[in-house]
């Protein structure tokens, strides 16, 4: 009971606005001290904490986090998104909903370049929302497109959440196999998750675009075409050259990062280093790499990376105390007794994570919840890559769902005052429905996730 009460206390303190990392560690240590004083908690559990922190410091996989953050921050500062949006907006100018399609495609490219949801939503909100409203787009449609395309960074590799999930699921998978008596356990890597996320990510983008085309046909007044900026026959050649010039650098960078992983030439950490250096190179040849900007990029990267690792350390303390109180046994027994067997357990976990996504960031859920439920679910025979992608899309859906979705808060912070919050909520509902549809498809056909990794590694 104390383990579950500790979990509830963490959620309550977070809702009061306290910093996540210190909330996790502080609440856990407070409950540990209460347990020691009441002689119901073994203090030797805390003796393993230094070795846990040392293990985090020595984890080469987690080095990819600051490198991918550096890559994303650099591309954001180099104004690559601005050029992409302007050029693709001209390319799709005549088509009703063309600007919306351009925003979706730029969101996809930014997701594959940065992997940071907050940065993508804010960037797209600042760059595209004023333009879309000026062109006569319905505020609900415009804000829905931006929120949905901005959260693609959750699933399209290289995604920060997939890096973190890869590390956590690898440990959970090994625990599950050891409990089954398998003493030479198989492993799951970040590269596995990257490859498994490609088809679901492209499927989401395709469904978004199909939805925009259908809405443009059925309700043309909500997404007017931009005939003034449309590409005419006589200037189609120069326009295609411009598209090629603008698209080539980010596409080459994405190809270098993902291609090196898919071809087995580099680990995700090494590929992240390639991406970071490549982003700096792109910024330099665009003349966007002044001394002041480099300093700003370095500070932003250090701040975001420090936040991630402090949360990871706090979550390690929390999970240690949670296990010390037998919380993992409570969760396992609860899931094993769920009606519906494995399917019932998966639905329950997904629903709990979906609801927690309203109040916790994906980093906290990854580091706190997944280590608790992961070994239990994987011990039931689930594929770790499939489970990881399902968790990522589930959290992505949670971040879009009114009234508490994080992406809605990010956009509300940069949207003009005349855009009603209710319009933002209305706009994201169709995209939430599309993501739930994709989750159902992946549940029915896990091969949508597992087929490509199997082919690549064969």
3-state secondary structure of 119: helix
Cα–Cα distance, 10 to 49 (Å, whole number): 19
Q: CA torsion sign, 353 to 355 to 356 to 360?
A: positive
List the domain boundaries for the chain.
2-457
The per-residue pLDDT for 430 is 93
Q: How far is CA 177 from CA 61, 86, 331, 381, in A?
A: 21, 51, 18, 10
More confident call, 218 vs 60:
218
pTM (2 decimals)? Answer: 0.78
3-class DSSP assignment, residue 50: helix
Rounded average pLDDT over 250-263: 80
Q: What percent of the chain has pLDDT over 70?
A: 92
From its phi and psi, is residue 328 left (phi > 0), alpha (psi between -120 and 50) or beta?
Answer: alpha
d(CA 253, CA 219): 38
Mind listing the pLDDT tens digit for each residue in 180-205?
Answer: 777 677 778 888 888 899 999 999 99
Hey, what's the torsion of the CAs at 48, 49, 54, 58, to 10 degrees? 90
Give the residue among 165, 163, 175, 191 at the shortest CA–CA distance from 71.
163
Q: Give backbone dihedrals phi and psi of 383, rounded to 5 degrees, phi first.
A: -75, 130
Percentage of the chain modeled with pLDDT above 90: 11
Mean local confidence (pLDDT), 225-232: 54
Q: Which two tokens stand for residue 227?
A: 């005939």
Q: Please say whether the beta carbons of 188 and 57 come within 8 A.
A: no
Q: How many CA atoms lie within 13 A of 363 on its CB side?
A: 22
Angle between helices 406-414 and 421-444 (to 10 degrees): 150
Establish how many alpha carbons lie within 13 A of residue 415's alpha carbon, considering only the half-sphere containing its beta carbon: 24
CA end-to-end span of the chain:
47
| Averaged pLDDT score across all residues of the chain | 81
Within 8 A by CB and 6+ apart from 31, the residues are 2, 5, 6, 9, 41, 321, 325
| pLDDT value, residue 449 | 93
Residue 18 has pLDDT above 70, yes or no: yes
């Amino acid at each position: 009971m104390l383990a579950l009460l500790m979990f509830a206390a963490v959620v309550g303190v977070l809702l009061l606005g306290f910093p996540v990392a210190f909330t996790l560690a502080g609440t856990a240590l407070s409950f540990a001290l209460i347990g020691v004083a009441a002689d119901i908690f073994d203090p030797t559990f805390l003796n393993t904490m230094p070795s846990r922190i040392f293990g985090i410091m020595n984890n080469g996989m987690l080095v990819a986090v600051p490198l991918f953050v550096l890559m994303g921050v650099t591309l954001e500062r180099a104004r690559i998104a601005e050029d992409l949006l302007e050029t693709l907006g001209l390319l799709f100018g005549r088509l009703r909903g063309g600007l919306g399609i351009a925003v979706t495609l730029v969101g996809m490219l930014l997701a594959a370049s940065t992997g940071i949801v907050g940065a993508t939503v804010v960037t797209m909100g600042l760059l595209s929302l004023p333009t879309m409203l000026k062109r006569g787009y319905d505020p609900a449609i415009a804000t829905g497109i931006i929120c949905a395309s901005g959260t693609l960074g959750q699933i399209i590799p290289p995604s920060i959440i997939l890096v973190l999930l890869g590390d956590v699921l690898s440990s959970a998978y090994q625990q599950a196999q050891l409990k089954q008596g398998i003493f030479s356990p198989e492993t799951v890597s970040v590269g596995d998750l990257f490859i498994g996320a490609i088809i679901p990510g492209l499927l989401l983008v395709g469904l978004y675009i199909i939805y925009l085309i259908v809405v443009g046909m059925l309700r043309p007044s909500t997404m007017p075409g931009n005939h003034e900026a449309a590409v005419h026959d006589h200037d189609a050649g120069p326009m295609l050259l411009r598209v090629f010039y603008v698209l080539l650098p980010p596409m080459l960078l994405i190809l270098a990062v993902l291609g090196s992983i898919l071809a087995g030439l580099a680990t995700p950490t090494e590929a992240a280093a390639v991406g970071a250096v490549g982003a700096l190179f792109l910024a330099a040849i665009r003349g966007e790499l002044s001394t002041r900007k480099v300093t700003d990029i370095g500070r932003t990267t250090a701040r975001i990376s420090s936040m991630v690792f402090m949360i990871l350390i706090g979550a390690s303390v929390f999970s240690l105390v949670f296990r010390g109180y037998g919380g993992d046994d409570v969760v396992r027994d609860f899931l094993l007794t769920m009606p519906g067997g494995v399917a019932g357990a998966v639905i329950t976990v997904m629903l709990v994570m979906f609801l927690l996504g309203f109040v916790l960031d994906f980093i906290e859920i990854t580091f706190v919840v997944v280590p608790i439920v992961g070994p239990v679910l994987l011990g039931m025979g689930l594929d770790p890559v499939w489970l990881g992608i399902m968790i990522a899309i589930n959290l992505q859906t949670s971040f879009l769902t009114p009234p508490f979705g994080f992406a809605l808060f990010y956009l509300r912070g940069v949207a003009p005052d005349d855009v009603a919050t209710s319009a933002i909520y209305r706009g994201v509902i169709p995209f939430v429905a599309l993501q739930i549809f994709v989750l159902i498809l992946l549940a029915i056909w896990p091969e949508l996730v597992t087929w490509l990794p199997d082919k690549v590694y064969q």
